[in-house]
Amino acid sequence: MNMNLTKVSQFISLILRHKPETVGITVDKYGYANTNDLIKGVKTKYPEFNNNILIEIVETDEKQRYSFKDNGKLIRANQGHSFPVDLGLEAQQPPLLLFHGTSTKYLDSIMEKGIVSKSRQYVHLSKDVDTAHTVGLRHGAGTVILVVSAEQMYKDGYKF
């Protein structure tokens, strides 16, 4: 098999997080899609794709991007949706500080407007600097780590 699993995973992410209509599938209000429908859709771009490859992608993804439900009959992206999804998350009290990794090219905008979710449902904050740095690298060189006074924001009424 000569399939780039990273590229396949990126395509799955596009489908489950942003554009399920790309392959003609739908997701429920919790973000779940029928696994067989997803496989058929991915096969339109990657004909060799199958359930075993999907399981490998889900089980080996370092960021745990996907999860199965109902013995593998349903699948969803766990975060990063650009459309409303009820992830079943409950608000909780954050630690004293959290960290946000981003590119220096966005720093002026962040300093002016704050950290905003843009087209996503949530802002990504990390519990440690190393994770925030890794997240920030997705924007390319020039990563900056912002320190967020999470506990104070929580006291001010922000939800985490």
User: pLDDT tens string for the chain (160 positions)?
Assistant: 578 999 999 999 999 999 999 999 999 999 999 999 999 999 999 999 999 999 999 999 988 999 999 999 999 999 889 899 998 888 899 999 999 999 888 889 989 998 887 767 678 789 999 988 888 887 777 899 999 999 999 999 998 9
Output the 3-class SS for 31-82: CCEEHHHHHHHHHCCCCCCCHHHHHHHHHHCCCCCEEEECCCCEEEECCCCC
pLDDT of amino acid 67: 96
Question: How far apart are alpha carbons 76 and 32 in whole angstroms?
Answer: 5
- In this prediction, residue 136 carries a pLDDT of 84
What are the C-alpha distances in Å from 154 to residues 11, 159, 160? 36, 6, 7
What pLDDT score was predicted for residue 134?
Answer: 85
Say what the pLDDT of residue 28 is: 97
Residue 15's φ and ψ, nearest 5 degrees, are: -65, -55
Helix (H) or strand (E) holding 147: strand 143-148
Could you tell me the pTM of the whole model? 0.70
HSE-CB at 30 with a 13 A cutoff on CA atoms is 12
